[in-house]
Every structure is written in C-alpha cells, then in structure tokens.
Amino acid sequence: MAVSGGAGAGAPVTREDIAAFVYAEARLLDERRYEDWLDLFAEDGRYWIPAEWDQTDPVMQPSLMYEDRFMLDVRIRRLRGARTYSQKPKSRCVHVLQQPAVEATDHAANSYRTWTPFHYVEARGDERDYFDGWVRHDLMRVDGALKIRLKRIDLVNLDAPFGNIQLFM
C-alpha cells in the first residue's frame, strides 16, 4: 500500500493524504497484513512505545518497545510461525482512531507529523486487553509514497501492570 501526495509523486502531500495513510496503516494491522504494514516503514524507521510519561530518549531510557525494521520483521515471522504456541488461537486486534491531527507539514524538509488519539483492543480466545493513548507518526515521502520514520505510541496507563503485548498498536 502506497499513499502518494496529490495528483503525482511531485505534487505536495496534503492533510487528506496524511490522514488517509494513518487510517490505512491501522487497517493493515487489524487485517493482520503485517508484511504490507512493515513496507510502510522507511529503511531507518522505528516503532516506539515509551515506558515513561514524556520520555525523550528511547535508547538511554528503558522502553516498552523500541524496534527497527529488522526487529519488526522478526516479530512478524514469530507471529506467523507454526510453533508460536502463544498464538493458538491467533490474537486479533481492532483500532478505533479519532481523526488524525496533522501537526506539521514541511514539504522542503520532507517531514510530516500526526497526532492521533486511539483505543486499541487485542483479543485472543476469551481474553481481551484494552489500551488507550496517542500515536504520533513522523512521516516522509519516498518515491512518491509516504513512509514511517517513527511511530511513537504513548499509552495513557503506561505505569499500570499489563501482560504481554502480542501484536502491533
């Protein structure tokens, strides 16, 4: 899935393009289309869930998750694996998003940022885990398609105990 800006690769990325990208990204996860989802990340893209409120450093401070494309691919292969017994039955998820707020667009710097409040449910069998928070997408355009530089998920209840997060928020 590629989201291009405007009428062609040279046209500016619009707010509508950016919002459509955020919605389409969540749908890929809900449909368990993980390989297509991974293709949305830039080569140096990162997926980050901070462990502290207002955390600014994912490397020198502990995070719930801080993964590059390689580690995301490892997790996807684990989810698809025949011997992944923690995924029998397979987990499913649903994202409920508010309309993404486009916080910044800088066409010259090829930089776009969104902020989206969300509710997320992860279910497996009769167990459900609920998460709420805000997701921030730092995007760039590569060959006419928007790509994720950083997907940062700030959970409302990040300081509460919860089980393993099996899927991707």
Predicted confidence band of residue 4 (pLDDT cuts 50, 70, 90):
very low
**What predicted TM-score, i.e. pTM, was given to this entire model?**
0.91
Rounded to an integer, what distance in angstroms lies between the CA atom of residue 155 and that of residue 122?
A: 14
Hey, what domains does the chain have and what are their CATH numbers? 15-155 (3.10.450.50)
Neighbours of 122 (CB within 10 A): 20
Using alpha carbons, select from 3, 16, 8 the residue that is nearest to residue 105: 16
With a cut of 50, say whether residue 94 has pLDDT above it: yes
Predicted confidence band of residue 8 (pLDDT cuts 50, 70, 90):
low
Question: Which pLDDT tens digit goes with each residue over 141-159?
Answer: 999 999 999 999 999 988 8
